[in-house]
Amino acid sequence: MSQTVDDPEGRLVSMIMEANKYARFAAVCDKDGNILWNSHRNNVDNILTLDETKQSLKRAAETWKVRDTLAEKIGRGQYAIVGYEKIKRITVPLQNGHMLFVSIEGEKPEYIKDIMKIVEYVERNH
Q: pLDDT, tens digit, for every residue of 76-115?
A: 898 888 888 899 899 999 989 999 999 998 776 567 777 8
pLDDT at 126: 59
- Rounded distance between C-alpha atoms, residue 79 and residue 109, angstroms: 12
Confidence of residue 1 (pLDDT cuts 50, 70, 90): very low
Q: Which amino acid is at 56?
A: S
CATH number at residue 51: 3.30.450.30
- Residue 1 covered by a domain: no
- Rounded distance between C-alpha atoms, residue 119 and residue 73, angstroms: 24
- Rounded distance between C-alpha atoms, residue 14 and residue 65, angstroms: 26
The 10s digit of each residue's pLDDT in 22-72 is 899 999 999 999 999 999 999 999 999 999 999 999 999 999 999 999 999
- Residue 3 covered by a domain: no
Neighbouring C-alpha atoms within 13 Å toward the C-beta of 24 = 15
**Enclosing domain of residue 54:** 8-124
pLDDT at 3: 45
Q: Give the number of domains in the chain.
A: 1
Residue 93 phi, psi dihedral angles, 5° rounding? -75, 135
